A = this chain, B = another copy of it.
């Protein structure tokens, strides 16, 4: 009982990472407790010990994935001159790790669209992301770097552009190598620049 709470959370994190690996390889259609347990080198008994239900396991895995992604995103200070560009670049699957995250995320759209609760969570996430972008856009406008216009609309447009680029890059990594993704994003940003 003196066991620290850290062990408990560490096991839940390990299980979540196993979920990521299964989702990355087989999607939600192949996400079974047994598959996760095998990936973890354990049995379903471990999973049910740490999570009351499969839904909770998946929810925790996705929450953790979002946390990790957000943590990586804030690696650059917000007052950087190219903060908007960096924020958008962080969404793209430019590394293998980011590609995995994006694949899981895109896959989760299927169960999310079918479940009102999950759908709402996704909607909230994207709304928050757009709010962040909107602030960056407004700041850039004040610095005279960006064209005029409703910052919320520009943020929604930029979010659209990056999201769609993620999808295309996931399905056609050959046609959309990191270099081209960055080039396309920069071309898009150039059209928004006031220079």
Contact = CB atoms under 8 A, between A and B. Distances in A.
A113 B106 contact: yes
A114 interface: yes
Contact of A107 (B109, B172, B188): B109
B110 A29 contact: yes
Contact of A168 (B29, B156, B192): B156
A45 interface: no
Interface in A154-195: 156-157, 159-168, 170-172, 175-176, 183-184, 187-188, 191-192
A166 B160 CA distance: 8
Contacts of A153: 183-184, 187
A28 to B, nearest CB: 5
Nearest to A175: B127
A162 B27 CA distance: 24
Contacts of A113: 27, 103, 106-107, 170-171
Contacts of A108: 110
A144 interface: no
A108 B170 CA distance: 14
Nearest to A28: B110
Contact of A184 (B28, B106, B156, B163): B156
A26 interface: yes
Nearest to A163: B164
A133 to B, nearest CB: 12
Given A110-B106, A110-B107, A110-B110, A172 B123 contact: yes
